[in-house]
Amino acid sequence: MFQTLENIFENTCLEDLITAIEFIRALQCASHDDIHCKIDQSTIHRLRNPPNTPFDISSLPDLRLGLDLFLANMNSSVESFNANRDAIMRRHPADRVPSYDQMKRQISSITGVGSVVHAMCKNSCLAFTGPFTNLDHCPKCNEPKFCPGTKKAQQEFHTILLGPVLQALWRDASSAKKFYYRRQKTSEIICELQANSGTLSSYDDFFSGSDYLENVRNGNIRDNDIILMLSIDGAQLYAHKASDCWIYLWVIMDFSPDNRYKKHHVLPGGFIPGPNKPKNIDSFLFPGLHHVCAMQREGLQIWDASVDRLFVSQLFLALNTADGPAMAYLNGLVGHHGKFGCRLYCPVPGRHKPNGPHYYPALMKPTDYTMSGCDHEDLPFTHFGLASSSDLYLRNLNFLLKSPNETQYKKRRLETGITKPTIFLGFSPDRILGVPGCFGSDIMHLGTFNLADLLLSLWRGTLDHDTGDLPSDWPWAVLNGETWETHGKDVASATPFLPGSFDRPPRNIADKINSGYKAWEWLLYLYGLAPALLYKILPEPYYSHFCKLVRAMRIIHQYHIRVDDLQLANNLLKSFVEEYETLYYQRKVGRLHFCRQSIHALLHLAPKVTRIGPPICSSQWTMERTIGNLGEEIRQPSNPYANLSQRGLLRCQVNALKAMIPDLGPPQVSLPRGSIDLGDGYILLRAQDRYERLMHPQEATALLHFFDTTAAARSLVNRYWCPKVTRWARLRLPNGQVARSRWKECLKPLGKLRTARNVKNSIFTLAVLSLYSEPDHDLLTASHDTFILCKHLGDSAIQVIEVSRIKSVVAMVPYKLDKHGPEEQHYFLVERPGLDVVCLGGGGEDFS
């Protein structure tokens, strides 16, 4: 390390920087016994002395009934609970069913999960925590802390305690075993590295990344430790009302990916009421981070129900994630308009226009450009290091903190890209992934809103421009007028051909682009539909250039990324960024603003995978879903912030309760009536033929061919055998998708259809397929394998396969191509972008 933090912090003289350092120092010596801890003594005692037996509810029938009632009415009103309770007690007067308030207290007592409440400025400037604890007025706006004449805070916020939740999750054997995934996965990865000279064949989790493995190697992370990810974001609770607030949550990385991102395992950590943005977010994060640091210093006592042992766990903070604006709060950097605006703190400086305050990360130097401090020569597109340097960060931080006055501070802020020391410097260096290495990228916002906003603004000619650089002269600005309207209709017309498992289909983009187009719509539009729908509309070389981005992002969005695919994606992204500057920016000073951080960030995506695993494992999709489902539970519009905090606390308590008492959870999903479980995740679902039927001749021929090539069945049939079969309408796949047969889909009107009979394929329960042709080779080449156009061969190409070879449901969207003539119907392939996003988050189609 460059030098100790205390040496860096000494002689700091600016007030705001001193305040930031005070928060850091309070974390460095955090204890549950210090003046900053507001946790009650009974909770602290339980943290240090956890229960060491499972919670047995079998002898408490009244409590069990109360819990069942409470959970059944959790999303209803208190009146609904009381009405049900009263009805039961009228029928069974001897029962002693607890009241609603009694149930809330019981759940808190059973789980040990609660929150701590702190005062905050009524204008959301800051929280009265850490160095602000003893203030009576907000130092930002001078609003009093308390209501006039009382000691009641004007506004409060909640922090949910993480430690009791973690203890509760270990208190049942089945829940405790989920924590062993990380240990098993790490062992498998190390064995693969040892067997393959230190190389991996693929990256499929955070644990595949070099940063995690290095901390395992040097002993910072041990088997008993718990790995955490923190995610924060702002949310608007109501669309047409000032209702902004901030939420942060914890993700337990020890769980397997198909568990850790689900609603019942994601843990809300704290809520920052609005409607104004916080001016000092450290003060709001401080109580939760202080609690974690205190547990790191003294260890968290945990009883493991799966092996009946008591052990001490050291918490390890792996990643902090947020969108761009929120990340600037966390990492203390200048944000995307600064001279060093990369969120990963890479050393690439930006360039600004004459008299312009904003910097842009253009790697190519503009023509005839002389600008002191940013007229450096071209920077290579191929030279991007794997990690941000901690030494560089600390050297620059030292330089910033030694600023003698405000004028020097502003100059040094410009030259370092740092606004303040991040509060995460308060964590012990061996209990965090490193600073700034712990701050992750954000594939969700980058891959959807950010890139879509830039590219569509270019193609529509709506991006800001100089007076002498008219969009009418841009050869790529083709999505306007009738072309734009037609394109929007083409996007909407694809809906019937996108399976229901593709979730929300993109709406008419021409009508809805300014009406809250969702992240998922952008994802499906950009990386699913656009390569086909922009063909022959977006001219060359812009079309081919865009397809490079599509091909790379389809790879990067996956949970399982092979090493050779990652190298391909890296090469494509480097080529895309270089060509972007050549084709669009063209070294023109007036177009420097074309070079946004969203383009620069693409260069970091592939190297980041080798460090911390696939971006999907640390994306903001989890936060987006949590904001959505918590927002749906708000029942008090007059006081939404307090209600949201209570719902978040209840979410953590119920998650802990169901982990401790598994049979309180929802019953395992039973198979629908008449369905057949084929094993390995494949399930036949009705409708079903009432009677057996003879196969069509082409189908029978294909079946005979299948038996000819299947040794186990070859002796069962002869050449003249025409079998009878029973058709099934649907097949559920292991990934949660449902494939549907043409037999039933063809009976639905197109407007009510979401086609799901096209599959990607890798007693005999068989599928009879009607194949598509080989893809059009010319289009495949021109689009970098992103525009896959095929002809449906119908009954001339029937094939029979085992259902276990069906891997996923894809879309085949009709497409008219001039060179094939009007009589030939062609279809282009759309695979669900980031299918893993939904699988990991608990998505999948309904059985019914």
Kindly report, residue by residue over 556-565, the tens digit of the pLDDT. Answer: 999 899 999 9
Confidence grade of residue 366 (pLDDT, cut at 50, 70, 90):
very high
pLDDT computed for residue 310 by the predictor: 97
The DSSP bridge partners found for residue 115 are 160
Find out whether 454 and 596 touch, Cβ atoms under 8 Å: yes
Ranges 202-216, 661-675, 769-783, 799-813: which has the least confidence: 661-675
pLDDT computed for residue 717 by the predictor: 52
> For residue 610, is it within any domain?
no
* For residues 731-760, average pLDDT: 67
Domain end point (choices 403, 422, 441) = 422
Does residue 319 share a domain with residue 184? Answer: yes
> For residue 504, is it within any domain?
yes
For residue 613, the one-letter residue type is G
* For residues 117-138, average pLDDT: 96
d(CA 590, CA 593): 8
If one counts every other C-beta atom within 10 angstroms of the C-beta of residue 337, the result is 16
Structural domain range at position 681: 676-840
pLDDT computed for residue 431 by the predictor: 97
For residue 242, the one-letter residue type is A
Domain end point (choices 601, 629, 653) = 601
pLDDT computed for residue 762 by the predictor: 43
Q: Are strands 359-360 and 351-352 parallel, antiparallel or unpaired?
A: antiparallel
Ranges 39-48, 201-210, 685-694: which has the least confidence: 685-694
* For residues 667-690, average pLDDT: 79
Q: Is the peptide bond before 131 cis (omega within 30 degrees of 0)?
A: no
Find out whether 511 and 488 touch, Cβ atoms under 8 Å: yes
Q: Are strands 309-313 and 226-236 parallel, antiparallel or unpaired?
A: unpaired
d(CA 475, CA 750): 37
Confidence grade of residue 284 (pLDDT, cut at 50, 70, 90):
very high
Is residue 19 predicted with pLDDT exceeding 90? yes
Does residue 656 share a domain with residue 770? Answer: no
Q: What is the token pair recorded at 681?
A: 């995740």
Is residue 746 predicted with pLDDT exceeding 80? no
pLDDT computed for residue 241 by the predictor: 67
Q: What is the DSSP letter of 153?
A: B
* For residues 672-698, average pLDDT: 81
Q: Which residues contact 618 (CB under 8 A, 6 or more apart)?
A: 206, 229, 319, 321, 440, 441, 612
Torsion sign (Cα): 315, 316, 318, 319: positive
Ranges 33-42, 338-347, 796-805: which has the least confidence: 796-805
Q: What angle do CA 418, 424, 428 make, to 5 degrees?
A: 130
Residue whose tokens read 């009677």:
691
Q: Interhelix angle for 542-556 vs 563-580, to 10°? A: 150
Is residue 1 predicted with pLDDT exceeding 50? no
Ranges 194-203, 217-226, 293-302, 375-384: which has the least confidence: 375-384
Does residue 87 share a domain with residue 205? Answer: yes
Does residue 595 share a domain with residue 471? Answer: yes
Q: What percent of the chain has pLDDT over 70?
A: 91
The total number of structural domains in the chain stands at 4
pLDDT computed for residue 837 by the predictor: 44
Does residue 313 share a domain with residue 262? Answer: yes
> For residue 611, is it within any domain?
no
Helix (H, G, I), strand (E, B) or coil at 768: strand
Is residue 105 predicted with pLDDT exceeding 80? yes
Does residue 412 share a domain with residue 501? Answer: no
Chain-wide mean pLDDT for the chain?
89
Single out the residue of 246, 253, 283, 290 nearest to residue 268, CA to CA: 246
Q: What is the token pair recorded at 450?
A: 């950010």
Is residue 2 predicted with pLDDT exceeding 50? no
Distance of CA 624 to the CA centre of its chain: 7
Q: Check: pTM over 0.75? Answer yes or no.
A: yes
Confidence grade of residue 3 (pLDDT, cut at 50, 70, 90):
low
Instruction: Read off the pLDDT of residues 705-738 as tens digits, 9 standing for 90 and up.
Output: 777 776 555 555 555 566 677 788 888 888 778 8
d(CA 259, CA 310): 24
Confidence grade of residue 848 (pLDDT, cut at 50, 70, 90):
very low
Q: What percent of the chain has pLDDT over 90?
A: 70
Confidence grade of residue 464 (pLDDT, cut at 50, 70, 90):
very high
pLDDT computed for residue 451 by the predictor: 98
Instruction: Read off the pLDDT of residues 473-500 as tens digits, 9 standing for 90 and up.
Output: 999 999 999 999 999 999 999 998 888 8
Does residue 291 share a domain with residue 241? Answer: yes
Does residue 298 share a domain with residue 322? Answer: yes
pLDDT computed for residue 750 by the predictor: 57
pLDDT computed for residue 697 by the predictor: 77
Does residue 302 share a domain with residue 345? Answer: no
Single out the residue of 147, 237, 153, 234 nearest to residue 647, CA to CA: 237
Confidence grade of residue 331 (pLDDT, cut at 50, 70, 90):
very high
Does residue 639 share a domain with residue 555? Answer: no
Does residue 347 share a domain with residue 293? Answer: no
